[in-house]
Structure formats: C-alpha cells, structure tokens
Chain A
Amino acid sequence: DVKVTQSSRYLVKRTGEKVFLECVQDMDHENMFWYRQDPGLGLRLIYFSYDVKMKEKGDIPEGYSVSREKKERFSLILESASTNQTSMYLCASSWDSYSNQPQHFGDGTRLSIL
C-alpha cells in the first residue's frame, strides 16, 4: 500500500514565523501535491510537483512556496505565516500526470496561526 506521511498532525505557530510542512511518500510517485481544506470550500490546490526540483502553481499559491529536492519528499513553506493560513493541509501523491489515477493522501496537518 502507498504510504504518504505528513510530519505533524497538529501544529501551532505565531504570525510572522516561517513554517515548514513536510510530506514523504514511499511509492516512487512522480507527482506530489499540497492542498488546503477549509469548511465550505473543499480542497484547493496550492502547488504541485511533477518531478524533482519541478513545481507548478495551483489555484491558491500566494503566501506559499514549495521545495522538492528528493523524489520522495515535498515540502510546503509558509514564508511569513498569517492568521488566514490557519487551515487543514493535505499532501497527496500519484503516478499519473493526467489525473486519471487516484491520488493517495496523507493524514493531514491541522495548522493554527496565532
């Protein structure tokens, strides 16, 4: 079974801090994704990566950056955290670039910015 592991289940940070969310997958997937999930809005794509060192912006990239130095690891960075970035963050990975394979999700990180 595919395993997608997010480094923290719960995280509390302060406004202005630099925040790192880490995600590791163990199935050699090419594609990795970061989403945020807010009540009433569903999952929204922040960034995705289709290869090492490659990234593309999703629907809501503002205030975020990403890093993919190794195939199995995809990091989401909040450069200067703000209260409107309080949310559930979900990492996912998949084989296929054309969205016809299921994405495999991590358990999520519930991030609170105070």
Chain B
Amino acid sequence: KNEVEQSPQNLTAQEGEFITINCSYSVGISALHWLQQHPGGGIVSLFMLSSGKKKHGRLIATINIQEKHSSLHITASHPRDSAVYICAVSGGYQKVTFGTGTKLQVIP
C-alpha cells in the first residue's frame, strides 16, 4: 500500500464546476504539500500546510491531521486549471513522499 493515496486518479469536469481532490496518508508528517504539474512537466507548489485550511484565489486546501486526510478544492473551475495535481507529505530529514497524482481536465 502506498504511503500517500490520491483520489480520483482522473477527473473530468465542466467549466464552472466545484472540484475536490482527496489525499490520504499513512505516515506521521510535519507538513503536506499540494503541487500542480502542467503538460510539459514543470511543477509548481500550490500550498504547504500542517493544520487547518489555506486559500489562494479559487483554490482551497484543507487538512485533518487526526484523520490523516487532505482535500484540494477548486471553485468555479476553468480550462486553465487542467493539470496533474500532486499531494506530497514531508516528515523528518529530507523525507518527502509523493502521491501518484490526479489528472484533471476541465472542459469548456
């Protein structure tokens, strides 16, 4: 079993829909990261959180430490949000474990 599990693996949405991507982890962590990877490869850090909730524009990330679960929400989705979203957890010295990603396609 992977230490970081994401769901769904693939997601297709209509423009304007509210989107949720889930991440569950099985190890102790000091922080959880949400990353975005556009076609072509480059990865951008969206959020780093260790408790509660963070918001940036139309993106919201939440984490429940007790349940070892995090969600990434996108409100009013747009085709430019189409990307792979990766959950990663960090804990200890240089130890970062990545999920396999959720591929999101937003259709106009």
Which residues of chain A are near B91, meaning CB under 8 Å?
99
Rounded to whole angstroms, the CA-CA distance of A47 and B33 in the bound complex is: 20
Closest to B91 in A: A99
Tell me if A100 is interfacial: C-beta within 8 Å of chain B. yes
Q: Once the chains are docked, how many angstroms separate the CA of A48 from the CA of B90? A: 15
Contact between A107 and B42 (Cβ–Cβ < 8 Å)? yes
Instruction: Give complex CA distance A101, B88 in Å.
Output: 12
A100 close to B41 (CB less than 8 A): no
Tell me the B1-28 residues at the A interface (CB within 8 Å). Answer: 2, 4
Give the residue name and chain of the B residue nearest to A106 (CB): B42
Q: Are A100 and B90 in contact (CB under 8 A)?
A: yes
Task: Decide: A102 and B100 in contact? CB cutoff 8 A.
Answer: no
The docked-state distance in angstroms from the alpha carbon of A99 to that of B31 is 8
Whether B45 is near chain A, meaning CB under 8 Å from some CB there, is: yes
Interface check B75, CB cutoff 8 A: no
Q: Which residues of chain B come closer than 8 Å to A13, judged between CB atoms?
A: none
Q: How far is the CB of B97 from chain A (nearest CB, A)?
A: 8
B101 A42 Cβ-Cβ under 8 A: yes
Q: A99-B31, A100-B31, A102-B48 known; A107 and B93 CB under 8 Å?
A: no
- Contact between B33 and A107, CB atoms less than 8 A apart: no
Query: In angstroms, how far is the closest chain A Cβ from the Cβ of B30?
Result: 6
Using a CB-CB cutoff of 8 Å, which residues 60-108 of chain B contact chain A?
86, 88, 90-96, 98-101
| 12 A-B contacts (beta carbon < 8 Å) | A9-B40, A43-B86, A45-B96, A56-B94, A99-B90, A99-B96, A102-B48, A103-B45, A105-B42, A105-B43, A105-B44, A107-B42
Binding site for B on A (CB under 8 A): 9, 31, 40-45, 48, 50, 56, 88, 90, 92, 97-108, 110
Q: Which residues of B contact A (CB under 8 A)?
A: 2, 4, 30-31, 33, 35, 40-45, 48, 86, 88, 90-96, 98-101
Pick the 7 closest A-B CB pairs, nearest first.
Answer: A108-B41, A99-B90, A105-B43, A102-B45, A107-B42, A42-B98, A43-B98
